[in-house]
Chains A and B, each alone.
Chain A
Amino acid sequence: MSALLSQRWARVAIGLVVPALFLGWWQAQATGGASALAFAPLDSIAATFVELAGNGSLLADMLATLSRSLSGLLVGGTLGIAIGVAMAVWRPLDRVLGPALQAIRQVPMIGWLPLVGLWFGTGQGAELIVVCLSAFFPVLLSTYEGVAHVERRYLEVGRIYGFTPLQRFRLILFPAAMPLILTGMTQGLAFAWIASIATEIVMGAGSGLGVTMQLAQTQQRMDVILVAIIVTAAIGFAINHLFLRLRRHLLRWQAAPL
């Protein structure tokens, strides 16, 4: 058995069995099962995909969700790095801000949506703020950990060569903390992506994959939902992969790929 499994083609073939069975089951349900109306036949899913891709709405949704996530990561991430560094370098700030941030963090991010909605209306502004918040915390925490735990022996080298505080930050603290900062950014990106979809589903403002899913649900259009889900998975996978490549490049000085 293990000899068979060591062959790549065998593993691929076996891996396709379950998905194939699932698709078969799905198609059976869609064309004659008890709740056939809920399921959508595979060909209609394909047709809907072609339709949405053709009329540009799929692309518009993809771009909307992507830009929301990336903006959220940019703003939330930058803030997270800035405040994380500040709190790690100036302990008094840590003592003042820390408890407040910990308290805010306990509330499920999505739970802030009604409050933000009351403050900023139910438009895209509210969605973006929650996305920024979602990206903010992982970046803040990892940046703080990274900077606060820079090895003392490297800081001593900085002292020996008379580094100014700016040099210490630029040449020691920031690069040494980079692995953890990037870990935080990766998690922040994931959270921003999830938060985009979540806020789109809940608030339904503007366009985006989540908005489309939610709308399709009210219209009982399972085929649209499935197209959106598949696209979501594909994009999520792609961004993750790209980010990993970026990380490997930025951390090429490390001994083992992390």
Chain B
Amino acid sequence: MTLEARNRPVPHGVPSGLGALSVSDLNKNFVIGGAPRPVLENINLTVKPGEFVSIVGASGCGKSTLLRLIVGLDADYSGDIRLDGERVATTSLDRGIVFQDHRLFPWMTLEQNIELALLNTDTPKARRAQIVAEHIALVNLQGFEKAYPHQLSGGMAQRAAIARALVTEPKVLLLDEPLGALDALTRVHVQNELQRIWMAQRSTMLMVTHDVEEALYLGDRVVVMAPNPGRIRRIVEVDLPHPRDRAAPLLHRLKDEILAELTAAPAAPANLVRLPGREER
């Protein structure tokens, strides 16, 4: 992390003291074939303003569903989700989200994609172009303002999606496996960018990932989830200063611990077929 990056100026104000997220006794079922299947069970989580919380877990532990509930795309749950004390019922510009697929509109340029986030805010039209430019600079995409998404690489498109999510200054930014579709090298690069942006803006961020190392590298706390039904196994505190050092021994120790938990070998399924080995013929 270069000195210059650390001292990059913060665009148009930092949200302060806002963005406290609380999830209490959250339960969600999907109805599959007529029978209700629990997807999330007794989720209790508090996120402090300005905190970066990572969520890890195997597939099927409902991580993405949890984010969709928090962002308001799904309102069918029992329990309580509150942002700064107010109950979450539907989508709102207070809660932004970055998806695994960048979801930039293919028919709009980069600029237009980011600007559309400001459509329904009360930002004066005159200011919008400037705000968009600031955020394009924030994610290091200067020069690509007029590019169409198909002309951007995966990493660039994802950074653009991050810029779009940040431009409304949401109280909470949710990230649903944002780097899952990127190759390993790009992933490291964008992780660094994400950390830099977070350090500069200090907005509350909640990120779901299947990459334990990434979760530990970026997060103040790591929520480890178990599947079937999705529930919180434990929450790990990562007490290291930012910017993080990837080689820090604590990170690796925690990673080994969490991985061991997540990959604990389950008992062999009852219907496992035993094929005769060559030796037995």
- On A, residues with C-beta under 8 Å from B are 153-154, 156-157, 159-164, 167, 171-172, 175-176, 178, 252-255
| B219 interface hit (Cβ, 8 Å) | no
Q: How far is the CA of A159 from the CA of B116 in the complex (A)?
A: 12
Chain A residue nearest to B165 (CB atoms) is: A160
Interchain CB contact under 8 A, A153 and B103: yes
Contact of B99 among A153, A163, A172 (CB under 8 A): A153
Interchain CB contact under 8 A, A156 and B73: yes
Contact of A175 among B92, B103, B105 (CB under 8 A): B105
Q: Could you say which interface size class chain B belongs to? A: 20 to 34
Contacts of B91 in A (CB 8 A): 159-160, 162
Contacts of B148 in A (CB 8 A): 252-253
**How close is A183's CB to chain B, nearest CB, in angstroms?**
16
Chain B residue nearest to A157 (CB atoms) is: B103
In the complex, the 8 A-B pairs of residues with the closest C-beta atoms, listed nearest first: A255-B150, A175-B107, A162-B120, A253-B148, A253-B107, A159-B91, A160-B91, A157-B103
Interchain CB contact under 8 A, A154 and B105: yes
| B93 interface hit (Cβ, 8 Å) | yes
Interchain CB contact under 8 A, B105 and A160: no
Contacts of A178 in B (CB 8 A): 107
Interchain CB contact under 8 A, B101 and A253: no
Q: How far is the CA of A172 from the CA of B103 in the complex (A)?
A: 12
Contacts of A252 in B (CB 8 A): 148
Contact (A162, B93) CB under 8 Å given A153-B99, A153-B101, A171-B116? yes
Contacts of B116 in A (CB 8 A): 161, 171
Q: How far is the CA of A27 from the CA of B61 in the complex (A)?
A: 80
Interchain CB contact under 8 A, B120 and A161: yes
Q: How far is the CA of A157 from the CA of B104 in the complex (A)?
A: 9
Interchain CB contact under 8 A, A154 and B93: no
Q: How far is the CA of A106 from the CA of B202 in the complex (A)?
A: 63
Q: How far is the CA of A131 from the CA of B8 in the complex (A)?
A: 63
**How close is A131's CB to chain B, nearest CB, in angstroms?**
31
Chain B residue nearest to A171 (CB atoms) is: B116
Interchain CB contact under 8 A, A253 and B150: yes
| B181 interface hit (Cβ, 8 Å) | no
Q: How far is the CA of A191 from the CA of B208 in the complex (A)?
A: 52
Interchain CB contact under 8 A, A154 and B119: no
Contacts of B99 in A (CB 8 A): 153
Interchain CB contact under 8 A, A253 and B108: yes
Q: How far is the CA of A163 from the CA of B91 in the complex (A)?
A: 11
Interchain CB contact under 8 A, A253 and B106: yes
Contacts of A154 in B (CB 8 A): 103, 105
Q: How far is the CA of A26 from the CA of B1 in the complex (A)?
A: 81
Q: How far is the CA of A176 from the CA of B103 in the complex (A)?
A: 12
**How close is A32's CB to chain B, nearest CB, in angstroms?**
62
| B182 interface hit (Cβ, 8 Å) | no
15 further A-B contacts with Cβ under 8 Å, apart from A153-B99, A253-B149, are A156-B73, A157-B103, A160-B71, A161-B117, A161-B119, A161-B120, A161-B168, A162-B91, A162-B93, A167-B120, A171-B116, A175-B105, A176-B107, A254-B150, A255-B150
Contacts of A253 in B (CB 8 A): 106-108, 148-150
